[in-house]
Structure 1
């Protein structure tokens, strides 16, 4: 079965996300742990979380993703900005344990002209402070498109972070199709080559999830603008190859396309019809 979902809003609660996922034919989903443009998070409603856990179990959901706010920059040049990001992520990981054995994804951040090596060192230091041996949540580094001074635009940069983290078994990667295409990895014409490179540098055993997005911009543009499935430069044919690839088809896929719930329902239907495993 194709494990596919989209980004859902936590504003109505945990159980509501599970019900919305089922309504659109999804069997996983992603959600922001708190305001994606800020830092506020609602207090955990344990009963609400328990209701979601029942939905996930009864409907055999794949792992879900909690996504860190976009505004965090854990490798900022500003010390207080780094401290704030660390505090938020540490709290997020505590909150994720109410939904054990799931995933937490974050953007590595921007080094803001300090140099990528300094940025990576800040990320490593933060992760070594907040990761705990007892946590059940896997923390995923997201592949980035390479705009500005983003860290994580290459597999080598992600590998450098992973190598520096002491609790490496708590870490993995989320591959974003729009981002890697924009970063210069040709998943349209050479998907096998890209996956071989990923395996050689990082290891496919570290790939836990895929953000499935088309791109509004052409190959190697170093932009970050997602497009609806089949409407961008990646296109349906390449997307269908990704979800059916023998090295990828068992992973959970998460749509971050610029759609409403009904649009995501249509995309999920299309992808399920194109799934051959």
Structure 2
């Protein structure tokens, strides 16, 4: 069974998100833990959480992929921004335990001139300061497009972060189709080759989720501009191969395409129909 959903607004609470997912015929979804462009987070409503957990069990909604805010940069050259990000990460790990055994995805960050190696060390240090043996959440590093000074545009950079994290069992990767395409990994003409390379460098056993997006730009552009499924440079045929690939088909797929509800529902239905 294909698990697919999209990013849902979290402002109305967990139960509202689950009902929203059902309305779109989704069986998983993503959500921001707090304002994606800021740092504030709503207080946890435990009664809402309990209703949410019951609803998701009843409607078989699982493999949720929470997303850190874009403002969380664990490898900024500015110490105050790194500390701001670390504080958010620590708080989010506490919040994620209210919905245990789910995934928490974040952009590794931009080294802002310090260099990739320094950035990698800082990201790993923040994770080592935050992760605990008791937590039930798997933290995912997202593959990036490699624009500017961002880290994660190459599989080797993600592997370097993972190698430096002590609690390896709490870590994984989320693969974004737009990002890796824009980063130079040709999933249109050589999906098998890209996944073989991912397995060689990182290991397919570390892959927990996929962001399913088309791209506005050609392969290797390093732009990170998402497009609706089938309307970009990757194309529907290649994205269908992604959801049906034996190494990927059992993972949760999250849509981050430029859509409203009607468009997301259509894309969910389209990919469910295409799934073999």
Under a length normalisation based on structure 1, what TM-score does the superposition of the two structures give?
A: 0.99
Secondary structure of the residue aligned to 1:8 is: coil
C-alpha deviations, 1:155-183, integer Å up to 9, x for none? 00000000000001000000000000000
For the residues of structure 1 that align with 2:10 and 2:162, how far apart are their CA atoms?
A: 29
Q: Which ranges of structure 2 fall in alignment gaps of 5 or more residues?
A: none
CA RMSD after TM alignment: 0.6
Secondary structure of the residue aligned to 2:7 is: strand
Q: Which moves more between the two structures, 125-134 or 53-62?
A: 53-62
For the residues of structure 2 that align with 1:51 and 1:188, how far apart are their CA atoms?
A: 42
C-alpha deviations, 1:48-90, integer Å up to 9, x for none? 1111111211122231011000111100000111011000010
Under a length normalisation based on structure 2, what TM-score does the superposition of the two structures give?
A: 0.99
C-alpha deviations, 1:90-131, integer Å up to 9, x for none? 000100000000000000000111110000000010000000
In the alignment, what sits opposite 1:170? Answer: 170
Pair 1:12 & 2:12 matched: yes
For the residues of structure 1 that align with 2:240 and 2:223, how far apart are their CA atoms?
A: 23
Q: Which moves more between the two structures, 190-199 or 60-69?
A: 60-69
In the alignment, what sits opposite 2:23? Answer: 23
In the alignment, what sits opposite 1:255? Answer: 255
For the residues of structure 2 that align with 1:62 and 1:16, how far apart are their CA atoms?
A: 15
Q: Which ranges of structure 1 fall in alignment gaps of 5 or more residues?
A: none
C-alpha deviations, 1:152-211, integer Å up to 9, x for none? 010000000000000010000000000000000000100000000000110000000000
CA shift for structure 1 position 233: 0.3
C-alpha deviations, 1:205-225, integer Å up to 9, x for none? 000000000001111000111
Pair 1:130 & 2:114 matched: no
In the alignment, what sits opposite 1:209? Answer: 209
For the residues of structure 1 that align with 2:253 and 2:66, how far apart are their CA atoms?
A: 14
CA shift for structure 1 position 21: 0.3
In the alignment, what sits opposite 2:225? Answer: 225
For the residues of structure 1 that align with 2:157 and 2:9, how far apart are their CA atoms?
A: 31
Number of equivalent positions? 276
Secondary structure of the residue aligned to 1:128 is: helix
